[in-house]
Amino acid sequence: MKKIAVYPGSFDPITYGHLDIIKRGLTIFDEIVVAVARNSQKNALFTTEERVELIQDVLKGEGRVTVDTFSGLLIDYVASRGAHVIIRGLRAISDFEYEFQIAQMNSSIGREIETLFMMTSLQYGYLSSSIVKEVCSLNGDIDNFVPMEIKKALKSKYGLA
């Protein structure tokens, strides 16, 4: 039986920190579904479709990763994909507090789905999509934060291309 995990998030945009979690997750799982959340409560820079395309572009050639979208309860989406694990990346204690509550809620729903918390690699502990967007919007150097495809898309969004 294939070990499938779902790595959900807004990925607005995907960063080297996200990609690090995916790469490390592939050492544990046979397949990872990167699930881009359709969240109307967040004011995203990129549309859901743009985020999916960017992630697919960055991960082209990695046949064990699928990019998809979801709305509604994550736990229902995970079950629909035949997965049994949700991967969540953690940077700090503040991330853990929130993620722990969500994991406990998912567990209380009674599904046979586990949450795996992965600590970010040290070099990405400070990195977030919000910080990347802010630095880029001010025409700062983001080469160490995102792949070139993402940098180009960000600069285009901010009229800096």
pLDDT value for 40: 63
Q: What is the C-alpha separation between 11 and 34, in angstroms, rounded?
A: 9
In this structure, whether the domain defined by 4-125 belongs to CATH 3.40.50.2300 is answered with no
Taking only the tens place, the pLDDT of each residue in 112-134 is 899 999 999 999 999 999 999 99
pLDDT value for 14: 98
Q: What is the C-alpha separation between 56 and 91, in angstroms, rounded?
A: 24
Beta-carbon contacts of 145 under 8 Å, excluding residues fewer than 6 positions away, are 15, 16, 127, 131, 132, 135
The helix (H) or strand (E) run that includes residue 65 is: strand 65-70
- What is the set of active-site residues? 18, 42, 91, 129
The helix (H) or strand (E) run that includes residue 86 is: strand 85-90
pTM reported for the whole predicted model: 0.95
Taking only the tens place, the pLDDT of each residue in 27-63 is 999 999 999 999 766 789 999 999 999 999 999 999 9
Domain coordinates of the chain in residue numbers? 4-125
